[in-house]
Amino acid sequence: MLAAAASIGGCSGGGGEASSGNNGSGSGSGGGGGGGDTTGSGIGDGGGFDFDGGTGDASLNEDTACVATKLQADYEQRPADIIFIIDNSESMTDEINSVQQNINQNFASIIERSGIDYRVIMLSKHGSSALEQSVCVEAPLGSGSCSPVPTAPNTNPPHFYQYSLEVSSLNSLCLAIDTLKGAIPPKGETTSPGWSQWLRPDSLKVFVEITDDGVDCSSISLGADPAKTDEGDIALKDVDDDDMETLAGGTKSAEVFDAALTATAPEYFGTPSARNYMFFSFVGIVENTDPTVPWPPEEPVTWEQCRPGSVDPGTTYQTLSVMTGGLRYPIQQYDTYDAVFQAIADSVISGAKLSCEIDVPKAPGGHSIDLETVQIEFTPSNGGQKQTFSQVKTPEECKPMSFYIEEGIIRLCPDTCAMAVQDNTAGMNLLYGCSVNPN
């Protein structure tokens, strides 16, 4: 056997090709993922190579390998600031009860399990859901019990904050703007720095709007002197869209809200061309073709609403979801909040983990990969010692720190795969020996 070189890039394990020269160099490339590269080296004259699977003295290294595949994970989880905006109108009792139940029972466990650095900011009136369509969040997300309902919200830094004020059927987006920096303080307070005090610059902002109505409101905080002029303030209205079978009101209102939000706090929400927020909607929209599946951002906004069960389809909220890559759920599906929480957790993940399946690359011209020589070196991200995975012949022979090759694909054994993907910035180097093809 002879030694030559090439590499595949990417954590997806995509294939790459190597080229060879006469004692020179060549290069190849492979499919994307967490990152990687393909390099080639010249092929020298013959000579035998005896390989015993990476455990003996004749194991491969990058100088003697025919092909070297380098994979690098670049998986990241951004911090997430999740802003719930909940309508406190009389028709929202069931929805608020479900929010309270799910946010206490499911949200904390789902988000904690994901490992995300999160905080929740609740824009809704604090109080009893049964008596006044208000929201009380108890432990574990909140700091205490809601039996009886305490006078003040169960603030629980750094994970939970509530900006307590009444959100009516139609004014939630205007209140979000006017409370952001405290132009309208929380209930019982005369001044406030606003809920922006709890936002983090490096986090992804995720809005979760929960309402059965549309938008018809004006802001009061954006003028040069709000006490004397309304110049600079915004007016939002989409409540006629379903009657007129149009999307015009929602389209315009979403654009106006987006411009106001990003102009007021670009350090948190980005710009219209580079937004740093997503918008998830629980609104009066009709169910998807598959009722268990939310409306994705690829599907257009609709003026059709669910009847009975809602007042308005909320085309402004829908448009914001489409604009920002968020999901839309029918308001009557409030028992699926756990799916929303999981979707939020998934939305703050970027990059790629190491792949557990890697295509065997092509060998340089005139050569073939000798599959019995394949060796995998795993380098942990924490500076731990490099480890060598051994090859087994079949899945049934799998053991820790091993892999097998099946139909041209290198597959990490289950325990090995689980270990590799848990390391968000680990690297793998796959080394291959080659044999000379007969003339």
For the chain, what is the largest distance between any 2 Cα atoms, rounded to a whole number of angstroms?
91
pLDDT for position 185? 96
- Token look-up 């929201």 returns 135
Q: What are the percentages of helix, strand and coil residues in the chain, rounded to 5?
A: 25, 25, 50
pLDDT above 60: residue 129? yes
Residue 228 confidence (pLDDT): 58
CA distance 263 to 257: 10
Q: How far apart are CA 241 and CA 295, in angstroms?
A: 19
What sign for the dihedral angle of Cα 170, 171, 173, 174? positive
Per-residue pLDDT band at 198 (split at 50, 70, 90) = very high
H helices present in 103-180, as ranges? 108-114, 129-132, 172-180
Indicate the pairing of strand 274-275 with strand 270-271. antiparallel
What pLDDT shows up at residue 434? 92
CB contact at 8 A, 426 and 381 = yes
Position 307 scores a pLDDT of 58
pLDDT given for residue 204 in this prediction: 92
Residue 66 near residue 3 (C-beta atoms within 8 A): yes
- CA–CA separation, 110 and 113 (whole Å): 5
Q: Which of 439, 423, 374 is closest to 115 using CA atoms?
A: 423
**Is the separation of the CB atoms in 196 and 181 below 8 Å?**
yes
Beta bridge partners of 427: 72, 379
Q: Residue 37 is encoded by which pair of tokens?
A: 């590269």
Q: Look at residue 17 and tell me whether its pLDDT is greater than 80.
A: no
The residue count of the chain comes to 439
Q: Enter the tokens of residue 231.
A: 């110049």
* pLDDT at position 227: 60
Q: What is the pLDDT of residue 279?
A: 97
* Confidence label for 309 from pLDDT (cuts 50, 70 and 90): low
**pLDDT > 70? residue 51:** no
Query: 25 or 358: which carries more pLDDT confidence?
Result: 358
**Res 420 pLDDT > 70:** yes
CA-to-CA separations, 202 to 205, 267, 359, in angstroms, rounded:
9, 9, 36
Q: Considering only CA atoms, give the Rg of the chain.
A: 28
Query: Which segment, 121-135, 220-234, 257-271, 310-324, is predicted with the most confidence on average?
Result: 257-271
Match 């291959």 to its residue by tokens.
Answer: 432
Return the ∠ at Cα 172 (arms to 170 and 177), rounded to 5°: 130
Pairing of β 204-210 and β 27-28: unpaired
Task: Name the pLDDT band for 226 (thresholds 50, 70, 90).
Answer: low
CB atoms within 10 A of CB 85: 22
pLDDT in tens, 349-400: 777 789 999 999 988 888 999 999 999 999 998 778 899 999 999 999 999 9
In this prediction, residue 335 has a pLDDT band, given cuts at 50, 70 and 90, of: low
Handedness of CA 226, 231, 233, 238 (dihedral sign): positive
Q: Domain residues of the chain, as ranges?
A: 1-8+25-75+352-357+396-439, 77-350
Whether residue 297 has pLDDT greater than 60: yes
Tokens 């580079």 belong to 274
Q: Is the pLDDT of residue 205 over 70?
A: yes
pLDDT digits (tens, 9 = 90+) for 403-412: 999 999 999 9
Range among 25-29, 101-105, 420-424 rated most confident: 420-424
Q: Using the Cα atoms of residue 42, residue 45, residue 46 and residue 50 in order, give the sign of their dihedral.
A: negative
Helices and strands: H and E segment counts in the chain? 10, 21
**Of 38-47, 69-78, 150-159, which gets the smallest average pLDDT?**
38-47
* Residue range 209-226: mean pLDDT, rounded: 86
- Residue 281 confidence (pLDDT): 92
CB 347 within 8 A of CB 277: no
> What's the pLDDT score for residue 38?
42
Write down the pLDDT at residue 310: 62
Of 129 and 324, the structure prediction assigns the larger pLDDT to: 324
Query: Residue 58 has what pLDDT?
Result: 52
Query: What rounded mean pLDDT belongs to the chain?
Result: 81
Whole-number Å distance between alpha carbons of 50 and 356? 27
Statement: residue 42 has pLDDT above 50: no
What local confidence, expressed as pLDDT, does residue 413 receive? 96
Rounded average pLDDT over 15-30: 32
